[in-house]
Amino acid sequence: MDLIPKPDQVVAAAGNVAHTLLYGGLADLRPMPRTLIDDGELREVYHYRPAAGVADNGDPVLLVTPLAAPALCYDLRRGCSLVEHLVEQGRPTYLLEYGQVSFKNRALGMEHWVDEVLPEAVRTVHEHAGGRGVHLVGWSLGGIFTLLVAADRQDLPIASITVVGSPVDVTKVPLVAPVRPLLNLTQGKGMITRAYRALGGVPTPLVNWAFTAASAQKVVTKPLAVLTHLDDTDYLAQMEAVTRFMSNMTAYPGRTFGQLYHRFVKGNTLATGHMEIGDRTVDLAAISVPTLVFAGNTDGIAPLPAVRAVVPLLTGSPQVRFEVVPGGHLGMLTGRAARATTWTAIDEWVDEWSGSVPTAPPARKATRRSTAKRTPAKKTPAKKASAKKAAAGKKPAGGGAPAAPPAGSIGSNPSRRYGSASSRALGGP
């Protein structure tokens, strides 16, 4: 609204206030209809029903939820839902979420998600979608899980991965960097360690508090923001949806949080490109599928340098693309600007790499995996890939880093420019 509101602004603001008072809000918070197709311990796999008059067509997309955050991140509200966007395009859309974490899950570590939850979800989606390759999209910690599984399980029918706002180098996170030296003084016996062990994890109230603290500036300025946007229905609806999202955080299992705390925050292990999972070391250089990485230009939880640090580690990927998009940690995924930036880039990326995995479904494997060494499965290129795509995705003979894309290529679409940031297409490190 203007400092001195115009008549039409006054009318719009009055309408928004009246609608909020009479109906409890402006946002359409109806979830997209979905069907549970598989479940297990802290694993729920959903298929979103096709839109009316639109049949599922093409490769499936599996949305990977981070721990502690609700799956609402992908289906925030009607008109600003990545799920709705994908479904209306006729793309087979699936979601992996974890249900409610309780004290009984305190002994589960990261290996539960890397060994069982995400691999089982990929196989389920692959079979349900008729044997097509699966495109993984992971936000925040969901992106970290996606990277680890793609590196560890080359036998899975993964067509591509997309990582959204996933910090790999925590020394580049301003919220964490100043206190890391103090955390290392305790040698694993500090107050935080004792607290999460006693509680069996990090309970929901503490997760809510931490996420709110990370967005303290927005929380403080929220009343002023509402007043200055009383005439903007879409803006107010978005704020309502974000408030609901933040009030639906869940807990961290104790052992998983301990691994994240000691390995990610204190040890900054993933920045080296390696991570200990169970009885083995997972190397990000083993990722052999195309990888799209997003960073938000105002993200305080996963700032651009912390996210971009993964790019030089992905030496085995046939193509790595790094995109800077408008928005903070949640906004870059499902903010109002994401509709014309992040979502557009995801659409182009999935289209580009669709058909890159054979359609014969693999035999379903036992949940518990053998520790024997696996032979990576070979992936066949898309049958109708253009010459330009084939050149971008082809590795040189004899191994080594893949060839760089043509000079001047920017992001996934050379003609696209983001007013608040930039992007780069990379053919490797």
- Condensed to tens digits (0 to 9), the pLDDT of residues 308-328 reads 999 999 999 999 999 999 999
pLDDT value at residue 294: 98
Co-location of 231 and 304 in the same domain: no
pLDDT above 50 for 7: yes
* CB proximity list for 158: less than 8 A, separation 6 or greater: 122, 133, 134, 135, 136, 150, 289, 357
Query: Do the domain assignments include residue 231?
Result: yes
Shared domain check, 35 and 24: no
pLDDT higher than threshold 80 for residue 82 = yes
Give the per-residue pLDDT at 385: 41
**Do 230 and 360 share a domain, yes or no?**
no
Q: Does the residue 46 lie in any domain?
A: yes
Estimate the crossing angle of helix 233-246 against helix 216-228, to 10 degrees: 150
Identify the residue whose tokens are 């946002």.
27
- CB of 235 within 8 A of CB of 229? yes
285 and 156 within one domain: yes
Asked if the model's pLDDT at residue 417 lies above 80, the reply is no
Residues 71 and 14 placed together within one structural domain of the fold: no
The distance from CA 242 to its chain's CA centroid, rounded to whole angstroms, is: 17
User: What is the pLDDT at residue 403?
Assistant: 44
Would you place residue 368 in the very low, low, confident or very high pLDDT band (cuts 50, 70, 90)?
A: very low
Residue 334 to residue 302: CA distance in whole angstroms: 15
Q: What is the pLDDT of residue 11?
A: 75
User: Residue 148: inside a domain, yes or no?
Assistant: yes
CA angle (149, 117, 92) in 5-degree steps = 85
Half-sphere exposure of 48 (CA within 13 A, CB side): 30
Residues 156 and 228 placed together within one structural domain of the fold: no
Which of 218, 250, 282 terminates a domain? The answer is 250
pLDDT at 33: 97
**Higher-confidence position of 259 and 86:** 86
Say what the pTM is: 0.75
Last residue of a domain, one of 250, 281, 316: 250
**Per-residue pLDDT reduced to its tens digit, 236-284:** 999 899 989 988 877 666 677 777 777 777 788 999 999 999 889 999 9
Q: Highest mean pLDDT range out of 275-279, 315-319, 386-390, 423-427?
A: 315-319
User: Which of 173-187, 213-227, 377-391 bottoms out in mean pLDDT, i.e. has the lowest?
Assistant: 377-391
- Determine the pLDDT at residue 225: 66
Partnered with residue 7 across adjacent β-strands are none
Q: Percent of the chain beyond pLDDT 70?
A: 68
Q: Is residue 341 part of a domain?
A: yes
| Mean pLDDT within 385-409 | 40
**Predicted local distance difference test score (pLDDT) of residue 96:** 97
The confidence score (pLDDT) of residue 110 equals 86
Same domain, 190 and 212: no
Q: Compute the distance between CA of residue 158 and CA of residue 291 in angstroms, rounded to an integer.
A: 11
- Whether residue 375 is found in the same domain as residue 230: no
- Helix, strand and coil in the chain, % to nearest 5: 40, 15, 45
Assess whether 184 and 306 both reside in one domain: yes
Place of tokens 């959204």: 164
Rg (CA), the chain: 22
φ/ψ region of 349 (left if φ > 0, alpha if ψ in -120 to 50, else beta) reads alpha
CA 47 – CA 125 distance, rounded (Å)? 8
Share above pLDDT 90 across residues of the chain, in percent, rounded to a whole number:
46
- Residue 177 located in a structural domain: yes
Q: Give the total number of structural domains in the chain.
A: 2
In a domain, 314, yes or no: yes
Contacts by 4-12 with C-beta closer than 8 Å and gap 24+? 5/231, 8/231, 9/231, 10/231, 12/230, 12/231, 12/232, 12/233
Supply the pLDDT for residue 17.
79
Q: 246 with 379, same domain? A: no
Domain match, 298 and 416 both: yes
Are 147 and 166 in contact by the 8 Å Cβ rule? The answer is yes
On whether residue 400 sits in a domain, the answer given is yes
What is the pLDDT, as a whole number, of residue 358? 55
Using DSSP bridges, classify how beta strands 320-325 and 291-296 pair: parallel, antiparallel or unpaired: parallel
In a domain, 256, yes or no: no
Is residue 361 within 8 Å of 126, Cβ to Cβ?
A: yes
The answer to whether residues 49 and 152 belong to one domain is yes
Asked which of 80-84, 86-90, 336-340, 373-377 is least confident by mean pLDDT, the reply is 373-377
Higher pLDDT, 186 or 268: 268
Instruction: Please give the residue range of the domain that contains residue 245.
Output: 1-29+204-250
